[in-house]
Structures are given as C-alpha cells and as structure tokens.
Amino acid sequence: MREFYLFLIDHGCTKKVRREDFYLHDSITKKENPFSVEYPRDKSKRILHDIPERLIDLFIAIAKREAHPIAFGIYLQIYGGLRVSEVVSLRYEDLIPVGYNASFGFEATLTNNTIVRKDTKNYVSTVKKERYQYIDPLDVSDSVEEGLEMYIEHVSKYKAKDNSGALFVNVINGPYKGMPMTKKNYTRYFNRVKKAFCKELMDPQNSIEDRELGRSLLTLDWSTHIGRGIFTNMKARSSQNAFQVQDARGDSGPEASAHYFEKAQIVENQQELLTKQTDYIKSLLAKNDSYEELLEGSEQDLIPMVSPDSKHDKLRKKNTNSIDVLDSIKSIIGDI
C-alpha cells in the first residue's frame, strides 16, 4: 500500500498526501533508559540438579527394582553425564568397556541419526553434540564393578527385534515389544524410580534428614536430566578448573560448567571454614577440661575462706556458669 501511494505521488496523481508524510523526521528524539534491567520470572521453577552422593547407590538400587530396563541407562547418566536423548540413541556397538573388566569404565560413541523406528519411520532421538563420552565412576571400585555387572546383565536380557541394534528397547508385551525405546517411554520408567525413591527416603525408620529430603524432593521439579546434574557436580568437586568440567560434560562452551564449578568451590570453602570452627571449639573444650581439673582441686580450699556474698564467690559462680556453657557446647556437637 505504501509503495502504491508513493507511485501516485511521483506521477502527480494525488495532491492530498506528500512523500514526506511517509517518513519519520530525524529531529525527533526519544529519551532512552541507560540501565538494562532484568526482571525475574513470574514464577521461578525449583529445579533439582543434584542429590547427596551417599544416596546414589540407593537410587540405582531402586532403579534396578522398579525400572530394570533403564537401570543401566541411569547408571550411564550419573557416571557419564549422558542426556536421555543420548541414552536412547545408543546401539550395542556404540558402548565399549575400557580396560580389563571395564576397570576404567566405558566409552560411548554419541552420533546422530543412528536408530530409526520402522513403525514410525522417524529417528528415536538426536544427540545434542556428537562426541566420545567416557563413563567414569570417579575411581569408585564398587561402582566400576557394579557398572560391568549391569552392562553384562542388560545386553544379555534386552535385545532389539529389528536390525537397529538399539541398546534400550521396549519390554512391555504388545506390538512395540523389542522396538527401540523412545525418550517418552524412558521418562515413564524414570518417574517410577523417582516416586519409589522419595517413598523410600520418607520411611519412618530413616533419619529425620532423609525423611525431610524425601518430602522436599516431592515438591521440586526434576526428571531424567538430574543424572547429568549429579555427574557434573561430582566432576566439579574433583576438578581444578571449569574447563575440566566442560571437557567432562562435552560442552561447546564453559558457561554451564563454570556455574557448577563456582558452586562447588563455595561449598568447599564453607566446609573448610566449618572444619576450622570445629577445631577451634575442640581446643576450647580441651582447655576447659584442664581448667575444670584445676578448679576441682582448689575449690574445697576456696569455699570456706570466703563469705557467700564476697566478690570471690561471685567470680567462682561466673566461672561455674562458663563451665556450664562449655558443657552445653559439648552436648551439642557430641563426638566431632
């Protein structure tokens, strides 16, 4: 429409409008805010990226019990940082043990467009970044042995009925049994594990800490990607810099890895400070024990020599109160 009116103006077909009416004047200025303000989301999502390291074995054990077809996949995610799309894209030939009896874990070849579902004519999933990914249980010998056992059991039990060579397949009876597993089916299995894990933690026989953690996990948003988060946090705690974390994750840039590494450093510094505080309290308690022995030896001689209202008696009461405070500290921290 604009070009049409300009054509009419140029050929003198109209005098009601001018060419200048179609342009903004450069002299018009507008004040611009020099500050770049980032507004928070209307509703922030509380996404879980980690669980205590001591609970990893329990999580894998529950996966074996509740969702055995993906238990080895969860192992690969926790100790290799694989995304769910990368797990379901694996073929038998893409995963090889490294070292004698997989003593150095596994190596996964992650490539795109490897598995096609014949019933849908579509790829099962895609890999975000093609790479070689090591599944390294961080020198935890028990985890290495467990990984090998899970691998042997998995490849002997689950076979693809087509020629895809898919490592993870559907096992439910029906037309799709033996077909390559999709992300959707994998996530369904994972949700079983998630629910059972929270229920296990909330068992009345567990500690208050575990029961509260179980309740908290029910309110947080987490799914299959937590395996990659656990892997990253473990690597961040054992790495010297963010680039080592980036290399372990297979990231193209250091941004995501830097976040995890900085967080790990903060936790490490807090732990170091707590250790120093604990050592200081221990030294105070040791000094107090020596003071108590000295006070007990001289208390019988001091009491008859002073009246109840004397300054010495008040000082003795003050010292006794100090001892009571230190006794309270002992009862709180227990055997450190």
pLDDT at 82: 94
Residues 148 and 102: beta-carbon distance below 8 Å: yes
Q: Please tell me whether residues 301 and 164 are part of one structural domain.
A: no
Cα 35 to the center of its chain, rounded Å: 34
Q: Please tell me whether residues 189 and 291 are part of one structural domain.
A: no
Q: Please tell me whether residues 274 and 198 are part of one structural domain.
A: no
pLDDT at 306: 47
Query: Which CATH number fits the domain that encloses residue 102?
Result: 1.10.443
Structural domain boundaries enclosing 316: 264-333
Q: Is residue 292 part of a domain?
A: yes
For 154-193, give the secondary structure using H, E and C.
HHHHCCCCCCCCECCECCCCCCCCCCECCHHHHHHHHHHH
Q: Please tell me whether residues 85 and 127 are part of one structural domain.
A: yes
Residues of the chain whose pLDDT is less than 50?
25, 27-28, 34, 302-303, 305-308, 311, 314-315, 318, 335-336
Q: Please tell me whether residues 221 and 290 are part of one structural domain.
A: no
Q: Please tell me whether residues 268 and 322 are part of one structural domain.
A: yes
89 Cβ contact partners less than 8 Å away, ≥ 6 residues apart = 110, 111, 112, 114, 115, 124, 125, 126, 127
Q: Please tell me whether residues 81 and 145 are part of one structural domain.
A: yes
pLDDT at 96: 93
From 222, 238, 254, give the residue that closes a domain.
238
Number of domains into which the chain is organized: 2
Q: Is residue 35 part of a domain?
A: no
CA distance 201 to 230: 18
DSSP three-state, residue 54? helix
pLDDT at 321: 52
Strands 122-123 and 116-117: antiparallel
Q: Please tell me whether residues 156 and 286 are part of one structural domain.
A: no
Residue 257 neighbours by CB distance under 10 Å = 23
Q: Is residue 254 part of a domain?
A: no
Q: Is residue 227 part of a domain?
A: yes
Q: Is residue 317 part of a domain?
A: yes
pLDDT at 55: 93
Q: Please tell me whether residues 162 and 295 are part of one structural domain.
A: no
pLDDT at 305: 47
Q: Please tell me whether residues 166 and 307 are part of one structural domain.
A: no
Q: Please tell me whether residues 86 and 223 are part of one structural domain.
A: yes
pLDDT tens by residue, 258-309: 655 566 555 566 566 667 777 777 777 777 766 666 666 655 554 454 444 5
Q: Is residue 233 part of a domain?
A: yes
Q: Please tell me whether residues 82 and 217 are part of one structural domain.
A: yes
Q: Is residue 293 part of a domain?
A: yes
Q: Is residue 250 part of a domain?
A: no
Residues 154 and 171: beta-carbon distance below 8 Å: no
Token readout for 108 is 């996964």
CA distance 196 to 299: 61
Token readout for 16 is 């009601």
Alpha helices by DSSP H, listed for the chain, are 2-10, 56-66, 68-80, 84-87, 141-157, 183-201, 208-219, 226-238, 242-249, 255-302, 311-333
